[in-house]
Amino acid sequence: MYELGIVKRHITRAERGAVDRLAPFGVATVHEAMGRVGLMKPYMRPIYAGAQISGTAVTVLLQPGDNWMLHVAAEQIRDGDIVVAACTADNDDGFFGDLLATSFRARGARGLVIDAGVRDVKVLTEMGFPVWSKAVSAKGTVKSTLGSVNVPLVCAGALVQPGDAIVADDDGVVVVPAAMAAKAAEAAAAREANEGDKRARLASGVLGLDMYKMREPLERAGLKYID
């Protein structure tokens, strides 16, 4: 993986309907529905609270201190995409700001996930263009070395294939392989179906110990109550 100097124009995007169904469940539920895999590292934080989106990944591999490929990526964005950018080395420079956000939005992007830095966060917040990043930095970047667009890459510890479904909210970012998007949406829905009932019971004072029948396994594991 990680071929440099490549732009893949045609990628297989996760089915739109399934992708759109994922956002309301949120990252924690989708991650559980997937069998607890696909999460990016928790250092990826939103630039403002409250955004909750899903979309299909256009991937960008950047070089440290160089945002040239984000401009190349803009052309590959289709309506409903989320740009997912990684860098060949840890780097906190501000690779992305309000001009690129304007361009990405005009192309149909719903947000950006970048394992590096971002700037103009006040304007981005006013625009309502959500970004999940490793850092905020005003440090500018050059445009001189090639990376790639729409190659598989590792972003914040998670493998992302172009076209994969991405879900992001205040808890972080999760990747759903394109072929599993529909199944993940179903599993998330099933999972959430009985959460309302559980929540009501817990709110009434029922203990998880009883609701989840944990007392017996705890005792078997050797838990001792003392006074």
Is 80 a residue that touches its own copies (CB under 8 A)? Answer: no
CB of 218 to its own copies, least distance (A): 7
Q: According to CB under 8 A, which one of 92, 179, 189, 192 is a site residue for its own copies?
A: 92
- Tell me how far CA of residue 61 lies from CA of 36, 57, 129, in angstroms: 26, 12, 21
Is 179 a residue that touches its own copies (CB under 8 A)? Answer: no
Is 128 a residue that touches its own copies (CB under 8 A)? Answer: no
CB of 120 to its own copies, least distance (A): 6
Phi then psi for 118, rounded to 5 degrees? -140, 155
C-beta closer to its own copies: residue 138 or 190 = 138
Interstrand relation of 81-87 and 53-62 (parallel, antiparallel or unpaired): parallel
Q: According to CB under 8 A, which one of 17, 140, 186, 190 is a site residue for its own copies?
A: 140
CB of 34 to its own copies, least distance (A): 9
- Tell me how far CA of residue 158 lies from CA of 39, 119, 161, 164, in angstroms: 6, 23, 10, 12
C-beta closer to its own copies: residue 55 or 169 = 169
- Tell me how far CA of residue 182 lies from CA of 17, 60, 198, 225, in angstroms: 8, 25, 25, 45
Closest to 80 in 3D by CA, of 9, 22, 148, 6? 22
Is 197 a residue that touches its own copies (CB under 8 A)? Answer: no
Is 183 a residue that touches its own copies (CB under 8 A)? Answer: no
Q: Which stretch binds its own copies (CB under 8 A): 15-23, 185-193, 217-225?
A: 217-225
- Tell me how far CA of residue 217 lies from CA of 208, 212, 223, in angstroms: 13, 11, 9
Closest to 176 in 3D by CA, of 35, 10, 17? 35
In the block, tokens 């490793």 appear at: 134
**How far apart, in whole angstroms, are the C-alpha atoms of residue 118 and residue 113?**
10
Q: According to CB under 8 A, which one of 3, 79, 128, 186 is a site residue for its own copies?
A: 3
Is 192 a residue that touches its own copies (CB under 8 A)? Answer: no
In the block, tokens 């960008």 appear at: 60
Q: Which stretch binds its own copies (CB under 8 A): 16-24, 185-193, 213-221?
A: 213-221
For residues 43 to 72, the per-residue mask of contacts with its own copies, x marking binding by CB under 8 A and - elsewhere, is: --x--xxx-x----------xxxx-x--xx
Closest to 51 in 3D by CA, of 8, 114, 112, 108? 112
Q: According to CB under 8 A, which one of 15, 24, 145, 189 is a site residue for its own copies?
A: 145
Q: According to CB under 8 A, which one of 16, 78, 179, 214 is a site residue for its own copies?
A: 214
Q: Please, which of residues 18-47 interact with its own copies by CB under 8 A?
A: 26-28, 31-32, 35-39, 41-42, 45
